[in-house]
Amino acid sequence: MSSIIYGPVSSWRLGRSLGIDMLSTEGSTCSFNCIYCQLGKTVRPLVERREFVTLVDLAEELEKVKDVPADYATFSGTGEPTLASNLGKAIEMVKSTLKLPVAVLTNSSFMPRKAVCQELALADVVIAKLDAPDEQRFHAVNRPLCRYTFDEVLQGIRRFKAEYNGKLALQMMFVEANRDCAPEMARIARELSPDEVQINTPLRPCAVKPLSPEVLAAIRDEFGGLGRVVTVYEAEKPSATPLSMVETLKRRPEL
C-alpha cells in the first residue's frame, strides 16, 4: 500500500474499506486543532484548500489496488479531507476506477461552502463531525482555525442534509469538556435528523482521557427518538456486535 491508499480495514457498515488520503502529509493538516486529536497539535494549520496529491498520482495508486477486494473506499487520512481542492474529482476517479461506493469523513469545517458540499455530495456516505452545541464549546473542543462560526457550520450541515441523497452520519466525540452538552447536542441531532448518529470518545492515545462506557451509555440515552445511534463501546464489542463505520475509520487518525 502507498501513503495515499491504506487498508482495507473491516467495518460492519462499510464492510472491507480501503482508505484514501488525499493529504498524505507528515503529521496532521487540518482546519481544526481538536483537544483530543490523536495526531497531537495540528502541524499544518490550513484554512484554505489546495492540492496535496495529484490526480495522476492517485490514478497510479488506484491501479495497484484495483484487485483488492473491498466494499467501500473511504476518504479520511492525515487531516481534513475537504482541504484537498481536488476531492470531488478524486471521488469520481475512485468510483470509476474501483467501482466501489465512497465514504468521506469530514470535520464539517467547510460545510458552509456550497462548492465543498457539492463535492461531498458525490460520495455515497458522508460522516460529519459535530462535537459542540454552541460557539463556546466549539472553540473549547475543536479549537477551529477556520473563519466560520459554529452557527455557520451547523447551517452548512443543515443545508447539506436537505440536498444530499446519500447517507449522512453525524459523528459526535464526547470528552470531559463537552459531556454535559449531550442533551443539547441530542436536540440538534434530532433537528438535523441524520441517517445515523455515532457517539464516540477517544480510545486511542491522545491528550485527553476517554469517557467510561457507563458515561457514554448515559449520553446515548439522551439521544432517544433518533433512528440509529451507535457508540464506540458498542462497536468495540467482539463478533456479536460488529464494528461500526466509525470504528473502521479510527484506524486512521481520528477526524
Which segment (31-39, 84-92, 112-120, 228-236) binds ligand SF4 by CB under 6 A? Answer: 31-39
**Encoded amino acid at 78, one letter:** T
Among positions 55-74, residues that touch ligand SF4 (CB under 6 A) are none
Strands 5-11 and 15-20: antiparallel
The cell numbers describing 59, all together, are 490514478
Q: Which long-range contacts (CB under 8 A, 24 or more apart) does 148-153 make?
A: 148/109, 148/110, 148/112, 152/112, 153/108, 153/109, 153/111, 153/112
Residue with cell 443543515: 158
Binding to ligand SF4 by residue 223, rule CB under 6 A? no
Residue with cell 490523536: 38
Q: What angle do CA 247, 253, 255 make, to 5 degrees?
A: 80
User: How many chain residues touch ligand SF4 (CB under 6 A)?
Assistant: 14
Binding to ligand SF4 by residue 21, rule CB under 6 A? no
Binding to ligand SF4 by residue 28, rule CB under 6 A? yes
Binding to ligand SF4 by residue 80, rule CB under 6 A? yes
Q: What are the distances in angstroms from CA 168 to CA 24, 46, 120, 134, 176?
A: 25, 25, 11, 21, 26
Give min distance, CB of 75 to ligand SF4, in A: 13
Phi then psi for residue 50, to 5 deg, are -160, 170
Our CB check for ligand SF4 shows the closer of 101 and 253 to be 253
Give min distance, CB of 194 to ligand SF4, in A: 18
CA 206 to CA 192: how far, in whole Å?
29
CB 195 within 8 A of CB 230: no
Our CB check for ligand SF4 shows the closer of 30 and 73 to be 30
Binding to ligand SF4 by residue 101, rule CB under 6 A? no
Which segment (48-56, 181-189, 190-198, 247-255) binds ligand SF4 by CB under 6 A? Answer: 247-255
Give min distance, CB of 249 to ligand SF4, in A: 10
Which segment (1-9, 29-37, 62-70, 176-184) binds ligand SF4 by CB under 6 A? Answer: 29-37
Which segment (15-23, 36-44, 163-171, 240-248) binds ligand SF4 by CB under 6 A? Answer: 36-44
CB 31 within 8 A of CB 197: no
Our CB check for ligand SF4 shows the closer of 130 and 192 to be 130
Q: Which residues contact ligand SF4 (rule: CB under 6 A)?
A: 28, 30, 32-34, 37, 39, 42, 79-80, 107, 253-255
